[in-house]
Structure 1
Amino acid sequence: MIPFKKHLFNNKNIPVKFSIFYLFTGIFGILSLDKFIKVFFQYNNVSEQGPLTIGLLFFILMGLIVFIILNHMQKVIKRIDKSYNDLKERDKQRLIPYEFALNNSVDAIYWFTLDAKFIYVNEAACEMLGYTQEEFLEMNLEDMDPQFTRETAIKRMIDIKNTKDWRLETTQKKKDNSIFPVEVSGHAFKHNGVDYICAFGRDMTQRINDRNRITSINQELQKSLEEKNILLKEIHHRVKNNMEIISSLLSMQLRRAQDEEVKYILKQSKSRINTMALVHEFLYLGENLAYINVQEYIKKLIDDIKELYISQNTKLNVELHIDKLVFSTNRCIQIGMVLHELCVNSLKYAFKEDRDNLLCIHMRENGENIHIKIRDNGEGLENIKELYKSESIGMQLIHSIVEDQLDATIEFINNNGLECNIVFPKEEEDL
């Protein structure tokens, strides 16, 4: 019985159910009234009490029917009212996160009609501009942004509607008439068939201040860097000049020396100093104060060694095959000193005035290593092992740099002359 009642008195198709209920109630009432009248007339005089009794019974029956109908309608209305209130409460609970997000957004949020009139603003907009929500609802876009007029404000709404991801950097006016920069993005949306504009405004005052501060810091750092570069160039220039002074003193001593061995020692010392000075010259003249182009450095180094050690009557061809490499100052000095000693050794012992002499220098990347090969076309050596045990300053310098500083391996072989192979890691160790 309860399911039937629940089904009968739910809120669906109420007019039809009321009509059916009224029809059945009326039929039942008429049948009951007819039966009651027959019984009544059987025991009473019709002429005296009939009309009044019939009217009274009809009135009572209709009142009962109306009562039943109105009572049910009242229950239905209460259920409808309760359902409506429950729906409002559910909608309210559902909208709480959205309202929280809107009101606690860092950005100001504005809703406009297409004629640039405010219809909603969040709390951030009120705080940012100093107006209340009620004041905003009486304003237009041009009241907040002095760059717009009535016509251009409406045109801007149309532009936002027709532009995806619309953005603009502009200014806005607060209630106290102060102007501040703002970044605005806008999007169009439709509600109940009507077009609206939703805009997001972000105060750019802090961002611009930070940007200006960073720009100022960068300018100061750039100025400091330029001063540092100038200072470093000056240091390299002075080091080079000091080495040239030492080289000049050695040249003066060389001219006065009588002993050939002393002359050769002084010449070697002068050449070694020039090798180191050349690095500082490249740093002074180059754009990069930390690294040196190896190709250019070795080419200039070999030219200086030839000028110092080769007579005009000696023919010497130099083959350079060097990959594009960039080394630090320290590594360039290390490699330059090794090449210097090996080349001077070839110039001293392998090359002759009466034949074509050849000096090959190869330097290439091989995976994680650098491979250097220096070969001459001299007669080579009968006992290669002597080079590993030599007590000459040059060979001791080579082994010291190769093994202790470059962390490299060195090998001497006879290959139509003397050939030296050096392999060292491409990555430099931090000092």
Structure 2
Amino acid sequence: MRESEQRFRATFHQAAVGIAHVAIDGSWLLVNQRLCNILGYTPEELQLLTFQDITHPDDLKADLKYFDQILADNIPTYSIEKRYFCKDSSIVWVNVTVSLMRELSGEPKYFISVIEDISERQAALRDRQQWEEQIQASLLEKEVLLKEIYHRVKNNLQVISSLLNLQSAYIKDEQDLIIFRQSQQRIESMALVHEKLYQSQDLAKINFGEYIRDLVASLFAAYEVNEDAIALIINIDDRVFLGLDTAIPCSLIIHELVSNSLKYAFPTGRNGTISINLKKDHKNQITLVVSDDGIGLPSNFDFKNIASLGWLLVDALSNQLSGNIKIQGDMGVEFHLTFTLI
């Protein structure tokens, strides 16, 4: 035996991966020890079989498709992940890379197959897939639970609002009745936030522009506003999504400011406009502007020194958001609130 052929056989049999010469009909012509170790057969036992005999039926169709393409000289080589049946009937995942050796005349001679055991990799992929499925199931469970919490909170707030409404029937003092109804409206504003969160695809935050439209519509209905007399302009940045901790104080601020405009800005017979603008800049800073073109504020107006629950709430909620307030009241009222969205 020539020295070059001896070196080839030594390399062939000692390779770290399975190597085989496979006949055109699929029978094993020459196999190395690594392939025998992978499959559990002796070389003599393997040479009595074909690769079709030990290939998993679900993988055989794809394997034969590539097999025919390489014989037809449509592709020079192919690689496929497939399953083999071992001698003990267990299944092993392998990566098989196949090329075709031809005679000088071009006729097919035999295939050279390089077979790598990838069972551990497949097991790791299965474990990862199972882990991902468990995570998805856990997330779905938490999502359902969170939706249920939002739904129950909304229902509980609506119950409180209904109780206040029932209680208001026994109130004789007009001023006390107004206070009751204002409290009821504030509770309904918070309930609406939880309803929007319940309906939102992202349970952590809501589209605040959509929320504001619903909130203001409910206030116009509560104050029985003639929409022909008071126009509403809403300009909201659609990119603004707020979480619960930000949405509730923001909603209550808007509630108080719009309510004030509806109650005081337009005395009987006066027409006007209420505007709400909300935008977010590239630094994640939110700017909220609520304005009207009504009768304006007194020259000595200082909302921090006014004994009004509504303005006290606006101040406290703005501090909660770490926001800066500016108010102009000489020609109508314009309220500016800026805060950074965290």
TM-score norm. by structure 1 comes to 0.65
1:352-396 per-residue CA deviation (whole Å, 9 max, x = no partner) reads 331222110011122211111111011212436512433422222
Aligned to 1:358: 273
Offset at 1:227? 3.5
1:86-135 per-residue CA deviation (whole Å, 9 max, x = no partner) reads xx7xx96xx89x94996224xx3323354545454343311111223455
Which has more helix, going by share of residues?
A: 1
* Change in 2 beyond 3 A, CA 1:337/1:99: farther
Aligned to 1:408: 323
Structure-to-structure mapping, 1:13-32, within 5 angstroms: none
Larger Rg computed on CA atoms: 1
* Change in 2 beyond 3 A, CA 1:315/1:217: same
CA distance in structure 2 between the aligned counterparts of 1:335 and 1:366, rounded to whole angstroms? 17
Opposite residue 232 of structure 1, the aligned amino acid is L
In the alignment, is residue 166 of structure 1 matched against residue 78 of structure 2? Answer: yes
Offset at 1:215? 4.7
CA distance in structure 2 between the aligned counterparts of 1:153 and 1:320, rounded to whole angstroms? 63
CA distance in structure 2 between the aligned counterparts of 1:347 and 1:147, rounded to whole angstroms? 76
Aligned to 1:389: 305
Opposite residue 240 of structure 1, the aligned amino acid is K
Q: Is the 8 A contact 1:350 1:378 kept in 2?
A: yes
Partner SS, residue 318 of structure 1? strand
Aligned to 1:124: 34
Partner SS, residue 201 of structure 2? coil
* Change in 2 beyond 3 A, CA 1:362/1:121: same
Aligned to 1:103: 15
In the alignment, is residue 198 of structure 1 matched against residue 112 of structure 2? Answer: yes
Unmatched runs of 5 consecutive residues or more in structure 2 = none
In the alignment, is residue 376 of structure 1 matched against residue 287 of structure 2? Answer: no
Aligned to 2:205: 291
* Change in 2 beyond 3 A, CA 1:293/1:164: farther
CA distance in structure 2 between the aligned counterparts of 1:424 and 1:308, rounded to whole angstroms? 29
Q: Is the 8 A contact 1:239 1:277 kept in 2?
A: yes
Aligned to 2:182: 268
Structure-to-structure mapping, 1:7-406, within 5 angstroms: 99=11, 103-105=15-17, 108-133=18-43, 135-136=45-46, 140-142=50-52, 144-145=54-55, 157-160=67-70, 162=73, 163-164=75-76, 166-176=78-88, 178-188=89-99, 190=101, 193=104, 196-203=110-117, 205-206=119-120, 209-311=123-225, 315-324=229-238, 325-368=240-283, 369-383=285-299, 386-403=302-319, 405-406=320-321
Partner SS, residue 256 of structure 1? coil
Partner SS, residue 242 of structure 2? strand
1:28-76 per-residue CA deviation (whole Å, 9 max, x = no partner) reads xxxxxxxxxxxxxxxxxxxxxxxxxxxxxxxxxxxxxxxxxxxxxxxxx
Offset at 1:142? 4.0
Opposite residue 313 of structure 2, the aligned amino acid is L
CA distance in structure 2 between the aligned counterparts of 1:264 and 1:233, rounded to whole angstroms? 33
Aligned to 1:61: none
CA distance in structure 1 between the aligned counterparts of 2:51 and 2:159, rounded to whole angstroms? 77
Higher relative contact order (CA 8 A, sep 6+): 2
CA-based RMSD: 3.6
Opposite residue 390 of structure 1, the aligned amino acid is I
CA distance in structure 2 between the aligned counterparts of 1:323 and 1:155, rounded to whole angstroms? 55
CA distance in structure 1 between the aligned counterparts of 2:157 and 2:184, rounded to whole angstroms? 9
CA distance in structure 1 between the aligned counterparts of 2:244 and 2:97, rounded to whole angstroms? 56
- The number of aligned residues is 330
1:255-304 per-residue CA deviation (whole Å, 9 max, x = no partner) reads 32232322222122111111111111222333332211112211111111
Offset at 1:147? 5.6
Percent of residue pairs bearing the same amino acid type: 29
Q: Is the 8 A contact 2:12 2:19 kept in 1?
A: no
Offset at 1:196? 4.6
Q: Which moved more, 1:213-222 or 1:268-277?
A: 213-222
CA distance in structure 1 between the aligned counterparts of 2:12 and 2:323, rounded to whole angstroms? 68
